[in-house]
Structure 1
Amino acid sequence: MSVFTPDSSTRPRAPRVDAGRDFSLALSVKFVPVAWSRSVKLRGFLTVAVIGGVLIAGDPFQRVVVAGLGRLLPGRKLAILTWWERFLANYILWAARVVGGAHIASPPALPGREGVLVLMNHQSVLDIPLVVAALQPLHPRIITRARYSRGKPLISHMTRLYQYPVVEPRANARTQITALAENARTSPVPMMIFPEGTRTRNGEIGQWKEGGLRGILGARKWMVYLLVVDGYWESARLVDFMENVSTIEGRAVALGPFDGPEPGADPERFIAEMRERMIRALASLRAGAPAA
């Protein structure tokens, strides 16, 4: 009687354990999301730093060179101011794309000339660079909140140099609307206003604050355009932009021109129509359909 004794070639082998490989895999599974999150935040921080550095350095350049050339060459002042503002707008969009990784479609071209009024929905910190890049050949006057006229490098001086109408929500509304209307009536460049007044949290079209818009529409006869953007609303604030710039999928559509109401006429129906068109255009953008 023989007894079968398995040798090394016939014994069943236990699964091989590669401790180093398994530990590395566990680390990668656990830490890749953390590393990715840190990478995204670092990219956002670098984008803000690249933009902020130019704004800080550009402040004295704007005060001395840009403003100085505008005084020395009054006949070329509009061209000088437009060149500078378009440079800043395109630089900010470049930084968001190249440094931040944002996907931003070039905004549609709008006629940048006297008598043009642009109404734009308000989603993010990139809205102003987008509308400046869209308007050609002249820069816009942008209705601006008073808090931006103080203590902001380059921006605060720009509000004065470019004669932006400044509004303070807590100040006397009638006085502000009168001043806004006069600024609009005499503007040699296009005007731009965010009718919502502030950025919405979900990117939908919010309620319009009509007082300022009524004042502008009543100041003169306008050719009105709508600029509707989407894909930016998760970067509404600077801190949001820093965290989400790499996820931006920005797109825009322009509608118009629309004949504005005659000065002195009630603009209520016109305003309601413009808001409805903006809502439909945003819905079309989100559905991937052409805006009407």
Structure 2
Amino acid sequence: MTTSQTESKATPLLFLRSLLYYAGFYPVTMVFSIICLIVGPLLPFRARFKFLTLINYFYIAWLRICCGVKVKVTGREHLPSAGSYVVIANHQSEWETLYFQLLIRPQAVVLKQELLRIPLFGWALALLKPIALDRSKRRGALKQLLEQGKARLADGIPLLIFPQGTRVPTGELGKWNKGGAMLAVSSEVPMIPVAHNAGLFWPGKSFIKYPGTVEVAVGPAIDTRGKSVEEVHEVATVWLESTMRAQGSLD
């Protein structure tokens, strides 16, 4: 099912349910962001992450209540219980940016610099040590990713990367960048692929949310020791693409 096929099923009821979701989403986000800006700087990083992402439990529960969007996770046991690692995942929706902070705890996420400029929300997000890239400077962005990524991993903080770089509509693939594999190999930490089909239920930039169950699959950890960047990248992307097809979000 492609994004256009999903959107063709929009109804007034789905519009109202989505409107209700945002009626709760924005006020709660604004209030909680103010609290985070006051409390967050007083906490060490791990405690800060736990506190600042409490709101994500609300986001996911409220989405289920208002819009009927549920989640099913398989392979959770592949996530290491300790130590740092690199997670790469496909990017289809705003949904994964909310849910993955609950799946991978703590984490530092690679994101676009513009997000940190959003009043309140972006300022609070900056407290979570993201790697904020200026996508207009590709060479500088890669250098920043490698330098800051290695520092986060050395501190024992898992790293989340969306190697497609931007949201890709369901049914399409885009291009997988190798930054995640480069980081994992150079730091000799495991790399873990995660695939999902959130775009079927929360299409990128879509106001309407569609009821159903988002499938999230966590793949086996890839041991990067003694492997090349190309080897690790290929194993991960082959797994991602085959799993995305099985989930119905890739033609």
Alpha carbons 2:116, 2:123 under 8 Å: kept: yes
Alpha carbons 2:185, 2:224 under 8 Å: kept: no
- Following the alignment from structure 1 to structure 2, what is the Cα–Cα distance between the partners of residues 45 and 108? 33
Alpha carbons 1:115, 1:222 under 8 Å: kept: yes
- Residue 111 of structure 1 corresponds to 80
Alpha carbons 2:45, 2:128 under 8 Å: kept: no
**From 142, 162, 166, the counterpart of 1:194:** 162
Deviation string, structure 1 residues 1-21 (Cα, Å, up to 9, x no partner)? xxxxxxxxxxxxxxxxxxxxx
The one-letter code sitting in structure 2 at the alignment partner of 1:247 is: P
Aligned pairs for 1:196-211 (under 5 A) are 196-210=164-178
- Following the alignment from structure 1 to structure 2, what is the Cα–Cα distance between the partners of residues 151 and 251? 30
- Following the alignment from structure 2 to structure 1, what is the Cα–Cα distance between the partners of residues 74 and 112? 24
Q: For 1:207, what is the secondary structure of its paired residue?
A: coil
Number of aligned residue pairs: 235
Aligned pairs for 1:231-242 (under 5 A) are 231-233=198-200, 235-238=202-205, 240=206, 242=207
Deviation at 1:261, TM superposition (A): 4.8
Aligned pairs for 1:108-147 (under 5 A) are 109=76, 110-111=79-80, 113-135=82-104, 138-147=105-114
- Residue 213 of structure 1 corresponds to 180
- Following the alignment from structure 1 to structure 2, what is the Cα–Cα distance between the partners of residues 103 and 217? 31
Q: Identity of counterpart residues, as a percentage?
A: 14
Deviation at 1:84, TM superposition (A): 2.1
Distance 1:149 1:112, change over 3 A: farther
- Residue 269 of structure 1 corresponds to 231
Alpha carbons 2:88, 2:162 under 8 Å: kept: yes
Distance 1:117 1:228, change over 3 A: same
Q: For 2:68, what is the secondary structure of its paired residue?
A: coil
**From 250, 256, 275, the counterpart of 2:220:** 256
The one-letter code sitting in structure 2 at the alignment partner of 1:179 is: Q
Deviation at 1:216, TM superposition (A): 2.1
Deviation string, structure 1 residues 111-146 (Cα, Å, up to 9, x no partner)? 3643211111111111122222212xx311000011
Ranges of 4+ aligned residues in structure 1 off by more than 6 Å: none
Distance 1:112 1:192, change over 3 A: farther
- Following the alignment from structure 2 to structure 1, what is the Cα–Cα distance between the partners of residues 116 and 63? 24
- Residue 25 of structure 2 corresponds to 51
Alpha carbons 2:92, 2:168 under 8 Å: kept: yes
Structure 1 residues not aligned, in runs of 5+:
1-35, 71-76, 288-292
What is the TM-score normalised by the length of structure 2? 0.83
Alpha carbons 1:107, 1:133 under 8 Å: kept: no
The one-letter code sitting in structure 1 at the alignment partner of 2:168 is: T
**From 123, 131, 135, the counterpart of 1:169:** 135
The one-letter code sitting in structure 1 at the alignment partner of 2:233 is: I
Distance 1:107 1:66, change over 3 A: farther
Deviation at 1:215, TM superposition (A): 4.6
- Following the alignment from structure 1 to structure 2, what is the Cα–Cα distance between the partners of residues 144 and 99? 28
Alpha carbons 1:120, 1:193 under 8 Å: kept: yes
- Following the alignment from structure 1 to structure 2, what is the Cα–Cα distance between the partners of residues 284 and 157? 38
Distance 1:228 1:132, change over 3 A: same
- Following the alignment from structure 2 to structure 1, what is the Cα–Cα distance between the partners of residues 18 and 244? 27
Deviation at 1:234, TM superposition (A): 5.1
What is the TM-score normalised by the length of structure 1? 0.73
The two structures, once aligned, show a CA RMSD in angstroms of 2.4
Structure 2 residues not aligned, in runs of 5+:
1-9
- Residue 24 of structure 1 corresponds to none
Distance 1:126 1:112, change over 3 A: farther
Deviation at 1:285, TM superposition (A): 2.7
Higher relative contact order (CA 8 A, sep 6+): 2
Alpha carbons 2:89, 2:194 under 8 Å: kept: yes
Distance 1:65 1:231, change over 3 A: closer
Distance 1:105 1:82, change over 3 A: same
